[in-house]
Structure 1
Amino acid sequence: MNGSVEPQTPPDSPSMDVGVGKPPRHQLTSIRHCASSMRIAAAAASSDYGMDLGTLSLISPTDVRPGFLPVFRSGSCAEIGPKSYMEDEHVCVDNLIEHLGGRAAGIPAPGAFYGVFDGHGGTDAACFVRKNILKFIVEDMHFPNNVEKAIRGAFLKADHALADSHSLDNNSGTTALTALIFGRTLFVANAGDCRAVLGKRGRAVELSRDHKPNCKSEKIRIEKLGGTVFDGYLNGQLAVARALGDWHMKGPKGSISPLSAEPELQEIVLSEEDEFLIIGCDGLWDVMTSQCAVTIVRKELMQHNNPERCSSELVQEALKRDSYDNLTVVVICFSSNPPPQIDIPRSRVRRSISLEGLHLLRGALDRNA
C-alpha cells in the first residue's frame, strides 16, 4: 500500500464504476436488474413469511454435481428512509468477465461482483469505496492466484487512500461488504455491520458477522488495542467496530487503531441447494432477521422470479417495520429459474411446527453435528 493512490477518477479515464449511482436525496427508489441467458437446475422449498424466526449459520456443501454452474441475476433497491440524507452506496456486476474486458485473463467464468457500503459522517468514503474497491482487488499483486489476499489488500488500500486524499473528508467513513464469485466459489468480505445471507432451500445461512462494538470478540479486540466501548459505541463515537475511513478516529496512518478496516472473509462453494444471496446495509437487519428476509425473497421469486422486485419488497417491509436508517438491499439469484415448490410427504402424526421452524431446527442440528 502506498500513498500515491488517486482517490478521484479523472472524467476521461476508464472507470470501474458500473453505473449504480448514489440514490437521490429524496424518497425515491433506485433499482437495477440484470439477467443472464445461462441456466442451471434448482431445488428448493416454499414457505410463507408470516413468522420472524431468527437465523441459521451453515456452510454450503462442496459435493456439487459435475458441470453445475450458477447463473447471476441481480436486482437492487435503495431508499433514503426516514433520514434527511442518503449515505448508502451499492454496486452490481452480473458479468465480471465482460466488465473487466482485457483484464479478465485467467479469471474463472462465470464471474460476478456485488457490494453494499453504509457511509457515515458524509458520503465521501462510501462513494469512493464503491467506485474503487473492485479496481483495487483486480490490481492487487495476488489477484487472481490468491483471491483472499487480494481482497484483504484492496480493503486496506482503499482505507489508506482515504487517509491520503486531500479532497475527501477525513471525518467520513463507511462499512463495506463485498461478494466476489468465480464459477462456483463465493468470497464474502465484510468490515462493519452490513450482512450477507444465503438462501439455501428456504433456510437462511449467514455468511458474515455484524461487527458491532458490543459483540464479545470485537469488544475484546477493541479493549486490547486501548479502545473502549461505551453504551454500544466504539470510544463513545461510532456504532461499528470496523470501517474504512474515519481517520479522525484512527490516528496517524500505520498506527494500530481499535477501529479496524480489516475484513472478515468467508469462502464457500455454491451447490444446487444455494438459490440466492441477499446483501444489505444494517437498515434492513435492524428490523428483520435473516430467516425472515430469506423467506420473503423465496416466496416472491416463486411468484414472479424477479430479484429487483424482491429487493424492493424487502425495503418496503423494513419501512413498514419502522426502520430508522437508509435502506439498501441487493438480491442475487443463482439460477434463471424460480425456486420450485417441494412436496412434503404427509405424516400420520400431526405437526405443530412450521416449515420455517423445521429449517431452524435442521440448521441447529447441522451446526452441532
Structure 2
Amino acid sequence: MGIYLSSPKTDKFSEDGENDKLRYGLSSMQGWRASMEDAHAAILNLDDNTSFLGVYDGHGGKVVSKFCAKYLHQQVLSNEAYAAGDVGTSLQRSFFRMDEMMQGQRGWRELAVLGDKINKFSGMIEGLIWSPRSGDSANKPDAWDFEEGPHSDFPGPNPGSTACVAVIRHKQLFVANAGDSRCVISRKGQAYNLSRDHKPELEAEKERILKAGGFIHAGRVNGSLNLARAIGDMEFKQNKNLPSERQMVTASPDINTVELCDDDDFLVLACDGIWDCMTSQQLVDFLHEQMNSETKLSVVCEKVLDRCLAPNTAGGEGCDNMTMILVQFKKPLQSTEPTPSATEPEPSHDEPSSSK
C-alpha cells in the first residue's frame, strides 16, 4: 500500500467550542496518507483566564503527536514558571519535558498504549484524529515518577512530531513552535506569520546540525528528516556531549509574544499539509471569503481541507494529513492585568514548502 492509499479518506473529525473570550472550530482529515499521524488539543479553559490550542503533526508514526496532545498542555499548566506568570518559559520547558517524559519504562508504556489499534482510554479507532477531552486538562500535579521495568533504559521514540501551540491569556497571545506546522494571525485582512518553519537549510539550523555531527542532504537532516526541530526523533538527539537545545534535531521552540488588539480578525494553527497548498495570505483571504457566508467555524475549516485535497497523488502536494484550528476573537478584547512587552508581528512572505 505504501505511504498513499488508492483513494483518500475524506471523513473529517470536526469540533466547535467557545467561551466568553473566543470561539474556535477545527477539522482534521487523513486524506491520501496510509495512516493518520496528526493530533491536536483545544482547551478553552486551561485556567480561568487562559486558553490553549495546539496542532501536532507526527512523522514516522502517530504516538508522539498523540502523546503531546495528551500531555503538553498539562505540563504548561503545572510548570512553576506558569504559576509565576511566565508563560513563555513554561512553554519552552514543556516542549523539552515531552522528550524527557517519553523516555524510560513509563514513557515506553504510555507510548505503547497510544500506539494501539484501538486506544484503550478513549476507544478511538486508529485513523481518526485523537485529542484529549477538555476535562483531561484538570490541574493534575506532575507525578511522572521513574518506573522500574524491562524498558527502564528506553531512550525515547524514533518517531517524532511538530508542535505549534497558542496560549491566549487576557490580551496576550503566546505562540510556541518547533517544526513546520504554522500559526498565522489575520490583522485587518493581512496575514502575519507568528511562527517560523524550522527547515534544515535555514542558516541557524544548519549551523547547529553540523556542529552536532550531522549533515544535510537533499534538504534533510542526515538525508532522512526534513525538519530541524521536533519533539521525539530521539535518534537525532544522542550526542552525550551536548545539551538538548544543541542536538542535531531539538525540541526547543521559538516563542513569540503578541499583544492582541481589536484589529485582529482570527488566528489559524495548521499542519504543513495545509501550508504545502496555500501561502499564509492565500489562506487568510480564503477564510475571510468563507466566513462571510458561514458562521460555523468547523465548516469553514472543512472547506479548507477539501480545497487543499489533491485529486491524485502524482504531485505530492495535497496528499498529506491535514489539521487546522481556526480561532475567532470576541470583541472588545479586554485586559484585567498589565501586559508584558510584546512584539509586533511581521507580514508573511511565505511560499508553499515540500512535505515531509
Fold agreement, TM-score > 0.5:
yes
| 1:148 partner letter | G
| 2:94 partner letter | A
- CA–CA separation in structure 2 for the residues paired with 1:311 and 1:254: 45
The secondary structure found in structure 1 opposite 2:80 is coil
Question: Which structure is higher in RCO with an 8 Å CA cutoff and minimum separation 6?
Answer: 1
Q: Which residue is equivalent to 2:194?
A: 207
The structure whose residues are more often strand, as a share, is 2
- CA–CA separation in structure 2 for the residues paired with 1:236 and 1:258: 12
Unpaired runs of 5+ residues, structure 1, are 1-24, 39-70, 98-103, 338-361, 365-369
Offset at residue 260 of structure 1 (A): 0.5
- Give the one of 156, 161, 166 matched to 2:108: 166
Q: Write out per-residue CA displacement over residues 106-140 of structure 1, whole angstroms, 9 at most, x where no aligned residue.
A: xxx3x211000011111111111110001101111
- Give the one of 75, 79, 84 matched to 1:136: 75
Offset at residue 327 of structure 1 (A): 0.5
The answer to whether the 8 A contact 1:26-1:85 is kept is no
Q: Which residue is equivalent to 2:92?
A: 152
- What is the number of equivalent residue pairs in this alignment? 272
Offset at residue 317 of structure 1 (A): 1.2
- Give the one of 10, 14, 22 matched to 1:72: 22
Q: Which residue is equivalent to 1:312?
A: 302
Answering whether residue 216 of structure 2 is matched by residue 229 of structure 1, we say yes
**Counterparts of 1:270-349 in structure 2 under 5 Å?**
270-320=260-310, 322-335=317-330
| 2:10 partner letter | Q
How high is the TM-score relative to the length of structure 2?
0.72
**Counterparts of 1:350-361 in structure 2 under 5 Å?**
none
Offset at residue 27 of structure 1 (A): 3.4
Q: Which residue is equivalent to 1:240?
A: 227
Q: After TM superposition, what 4+ stretches of structure 1 lie above 3 angstroms from structure 2?
A: 252-256
The answer to whether the 8 A contact 1:87-1:326 is kept is yes
Offset at residue 320 of structure 1 (A): 4.3
In the superposition, relative to structure 1, how do residues 272 and 312 fare at CA in structure 2: closer, same or farther (>3 Å)?
Answer: same
| 1:329 partner letter | M
Offset at residue 282 of structure 1 (A): 0.5
- CA–CA separation in structure 1 for the residues paired with 2:172 and 2:183: 15
**Counterparts of 1:46-85 in structure 2 under 5 Å?**
71-85=21-35
The secondary structure found in structure 2 opposite 1:143 is helix
Offset at residue 299 of structure 1 (A): 1.4
The secondary structure found in structure 2 opposite 1:117 is strand
Q: Write out per-residue CA displacement over residues 255-283 of structure 1, whole angstroms, 9 at most, x where no aligned residue.
A: 44210110000000100001100100001
The answer to whether the 8 A contact 2:185-2:266 is kept is yes
Answering whether residue 183 of structure 2 is matched by residue 179 of structure 1, we say no
The answer to whether the 8 A contact 2:57-2:181 is kept is yes
- CA–CA separation in structure 1 for the residues paired with 2:257 and 2:60: 31
| 2:13 partner letter | S
**Counterparts of 1:93-112 in structure 2 under 5 Å?**
93-97=43-47, 109=49, 111-112=50-51
Q: Write out per-residue CA displacement over residues 195-241 of structure 1, whole angstroms, 9 at most, x where no aligned residue.
A: 00001111100000000111232212222322211101011111100
The answer to whether the 8 A contact 2:27-2:301 is kept is yes
Offset at residue 26 of structure 1 (A): 4.4
- CA–CA separation in structure 2 for the residues paired with 1:163 and 1:266: 28
- CA–CA separation in structure 2 for the residues paired with 1:159 and 1:254: 17
The secondary structure found in structure 2 opposite 1:313 is helix
Larger Rg: 1
The answer to whether the 8 A contact 2:212-2:239 is kept is no
| 1:115 partner letter | G
Unpaired runs of 5+ residues, structure 2, are 1-7, 112-155, 312-316, 333-345, 349-356
Q: Which residue is equivalent to 1:10?
A: none
- CA–CA separation in structure 1 for the residues paired with 2:249 and 2:208: 10
- CA–CA separation in structure 2 for the residues paired with 1:29 and 1:189: 26
- CA–CA separation in structure 2 for the residues paired with 1:248 and 1:203: 40
Answering whether residue 190 of structure 2 is matched by residue 190 of structure 1, we say no
Answering whether residue 41 of structure 2 is matched by residue 91 of structure 1, we say yes
Q: Which residue is equivalent to 1:340?
A: none
The secondary structure found in structure 2 opposite 1:94 is strand
| 1:166 partner letter | W
Q: Which residue is equivalent to 1:343?
A: none
Q: Which residue is equivalent to 2:314?
A: none
